[in-house]
Amino acid sequence: MEAAPESDPRTHRFECRSCGYVYDPDEGVKKVGIEAGTAFEDLDPAGFRCPVCRSRKPAFRDIGPREKASGFEENLNFGIGVNRMTPGQKNVLIFGGLALGFAFFLSLYSLR
């Protein structure tokens, strides 16, 4: 099994274990004035709270960079390749399939 290349920990996303909110340093948090590009480790531990449930900084866990496939490492080899997809790729697959199904449904009206 090949080792994954190391990524910069300052670009990692962090998930709140209380509510599931994901802090992404590429986006920041506009409603509380945290600029895009601010690493999670640069946030004030005393002042930062989850924008959804108000949990403190220790309630967050590192979930890796945005490009990393979601899920547990031991489960990534199962499935039809879907387990190795990033969350964005999964969204395209799901909503693209729904749009295609809707288009097929609408095409039934053209039949007589």
pLDDT tens per residue across span 49-96: 999 999 999 999 988 787 765 556 666 677 676 777 777 888 899 999
pLDDT at residue 1, as a whole number: 38
Instruction: Give yes or no for a contact between 65 and 7, defined as CB atoms under 8 angstroms apart.
Output: yes
> How many C-beta atoms surround the C-beta of residue 51 within 10 A?
15
Q: Supply the pTM of this predicted model.
A: 0.57
- Chain centroid to Cα 61, Å, comes to 13
What's the pLDDT tens digit per position in 15-59? 899 898 999 998 888 888 888 888 999 888 888 899 999 999 999
The DSSP letter of residue 61 is E
Q: Are strands 13-16 and 22-23 parallel, antiparallel or unpaired?
A: antiparallel
Residue pointed to by tokens 């590009």? 37
Taking the C-alpha atoms of residue 90 and residue 56, their distance in angstroms, rounded to an integer, is 30
